Amino acid sequence: MGGTKINVSKKFFNKLYFRYNQFSNLTQRKYPTKRTTAYPVSQLSVKNVDNFKDLGIREVLCKALRQNFNITKPTPCQQKLIPSILSGNDVLIRDLTGSGKTFGIVLALLSKTRIVPKSLSQNTRSSIPITTNLLVVPSRELAFQIESWIHSLFRDTNLPMKSIIQVAVKTAKEIEEEQLVNFRKTPPLLLVGTAKRLLELVENHGLKFHGLNTLALDEVDHLIKLPGKHANLKKIINREIHPKPTELLARHILSGLNNDNNESSRNEKIYYRYKPQVIISSATLNRALRYYFKDNQLAPNPIFVDMSQGNYSPPTITHHCLTITSNNIRNLTTSNSTSEEERIQDFEEDDDRMVDSVVGTIELEKQMIQTGIIFVNHKINVPELVKKFREYGIPAKELSSSYIPTISEQGYSYNSLSTIETDLNDIVTQSTFSPKTTIYVAQEFTSRGIDIPNISHVFILGVPSSAAEYLHMSGRTGRMGGDGKVISFIKDGQKRVMMNYITFLDLKLDNYEHVD
């Protein structure tokens, strides 16, 4: 009888795992594609060029890059990914943090020709506007940063910005309502949004993506979050029952393919004829994710732009880790992470002992800090922690996840990288830092894709939730080949987990010179 239970369990597991690797019933067939040339999963052979125009970027964007960003040459990653995207093939992109992946994707999408699908009837082609490119990102911060980039690119033109870029994220109610009105009235060339908000618009407000040319998923490992290779049956079952918003959104987009017998399609005389081009990007794009998109026919034969060369972190970043106990601070090393017995500490990451350690380290580094950022886990109350740091004289600010909106006759806008200082004006700080120095405080998930100028130091308070999250947090510094320093603060009982991350990422952990 016991053997029977084992056999049933195995059958159930195999069936469930098979279902998990299928993208609902949508991937039981292959979709027609606009592209007739088959490319292997490899780098596209592209000559090295040192200007954006020869890569296919529009002249107006090349001029704006020079005048508004002082950028004249593409990064090595952009040299590969831009022509790959403009070729029309599905593209997978992997490179180190800070290599210009997201910016390159945005430039390529803005340079694509806006095509009205042939599947639209002749009577409706000119009267039905469509969203051409959809870029799904993991956070509001990244969505608004991309919007800010594009506004800066086109600030010297008279082009209507709503027809070029719009953002779909959770924010103030009146702004969400205005977003919906804008989408329906003027579908943009590029719509940037979080999967949760986009799915809400699809399910509750009837937003459609008929005729979509390109679906781009940035920081895809965070958007999809596949179970780990050692995940137990319970996690796999839970993942099957609760698909991520990005998956549901993709199902909606793919559900209209060749579905010309569908009643709504006949009524609107509009449907998908081809699968949209799919662009996948992340610094931590692993093998499981690559096969997930291939097996589920989302990107069955993509170009793989892999610039990482087997590395995870830029070599210009130095990594340090300090272990905190009730009575001392020590460097984490390979020897003391395994040979000494770990002592479970009964205090939290925002305890005064942890905060004191971060404050002391920032004081030691203050002459070298240009801009810094402190990352904490999602359980930490960020405004309260900011208040603590300011009481110590640290010029701390919360990196807001809800950008402050400004509403005018022209509509709404957001201040780039705005911060919120809640009830802090009454706190007297005796700061000895330069007036130009700012230390941002943010939760771990905010690290994905955000590019804050001049980040010289990253401080991580507590052990990260995963090795990938450590990589993305540390990647806010050392961008575009610059130097950077990452200092982590963990409790004594977290040494083994942290060392596993360091080993997995193949990072060199340096001793912090001011600590034994």
DSSP 92-140: EEE--TTSSHHHHHHHHHHHS-----TTS-TTTTTT-----EEEEES-H
In a domain, 6, yes or no: no
pLDDT on residue 418: 44
CA angle 142, 144, 148 (to 5 degrees): 115
Domain tally for the chain?
Answer: 2
Structure tokens at 301: 């034969």
Looking up residue 403, the CATH number of its domain turns out to be: 3.40.50.300
The answer to whether residues 288 and 364 belong to one domain is no
The tens-digit pLDDT sequence of the chain (516 residues) is: 444 443 444 444 454 444 444 443 444 445 455 543 434 434 445 567 889 999 999 999 999 999 999 999 999 999 999 999 999 999 999 998 888 999 999 999 999 987 665 555 444 444 455 788 999 999 888 998 899 899 999 988 888 899 999 999 988 888 888 888 888 888 899 999 999 999 999 989 888 887 889 999 999 989 998 887 777 888 888 888 888 999 999 888 887 654 544 444 444 433 445 789 999 999 888 888 888 888 888 888 899 999 887 777 888 999 999 999 888 899 998 665 554 555 666 677 778 889 999 999 999 998 899 899 999 988 899 999 999 999 999 999 988 644 444 444 444 444 444 444 444 444 445 567 877 788 999 998 887 878 888 899 999 999 999 888 999 999 999 988 889 999 999 998 889 999 999 998 989 999 999 887
- The amino acid occupying position 103 is F
Same domain, 278 and 332: no
Q: Do both 352 and 456 map to the same domain?
A: yes
Same domain, 173 and 297: yes
Q: Does residue 233 lie in a domain region?
A: yes
* Residue 511 pLDDT: 93
Backbone angles phi, psi at 304, to 5 degrees: -110, 105
Say yes or no: 301 and 328 in one domain: no
Kindly give the pairing relationship between strand 317-324 and strand 277-281.
Answer: unpaired
Q: Dump strand ranges (E) for 343-421.
A: 371-376, 396-399, 405-408, 411-414, 419-420
Q: Which among 270, 274, 276 has a CA at the least distance from the CA of 121?
A: 270
Reported pTM: 0.79
As a whole number of angstroms, the distance between CA 262 and CA 284 comes to: 39
DSSP 3-state assignment of 262?
A: coil
Whether 324 is covered by a domain: the verdict is yes
370 found inside a domain: yes
Together in a domain, 196 and 295: yes
Domain annotation covers residue 471: yes
Contact status, residue 447 vs residue 431, Cβ threshold 8 Å: no
153-200: pLDDT as tens digits: 998 888 889 999 999 998 888 888 888 888 888 889 999 999 999 999
Sign of the C-alpha dihedral, residues 55, 58, 61, 62? positive
Same domain, 322 and 301: no
Closest C-alpha among 335, 442, 437, 324 to residue 380: 442
Nearest to 373 by CA among 500, 478, 451, 460: 460
Q: Is the residue at 176 inside a domain?
A: yes
Query: Would you tell me how many other CB atoms lie within 10 Å of the CB of residue 161?
Result: 18
Range of 432's domain?
A: 317-336+344-505
Is position 411 within any domain?
A: yes
449-to-96, 283, 469 alpha-carbon distances in Å? 11, 10, 11
Mark whether 322 and 297 lie in a shared domain: no
For residues 238 and 321, membership in a common domain is answered with: no
- pLDDT at residue number 346: 66
44 within 8 A of 87, measured Cβ to Cβ: yes
Q: Do residues 39 and 167 share a domain? A: yes
Q: Does some domain include residue 264?
A: no
Co-location of 49 and 148 in the same domain: yes
Residue 473, token pair as written in the block = 């947090």
Q: Do 292 and 157 belong together in one domain? A: yes
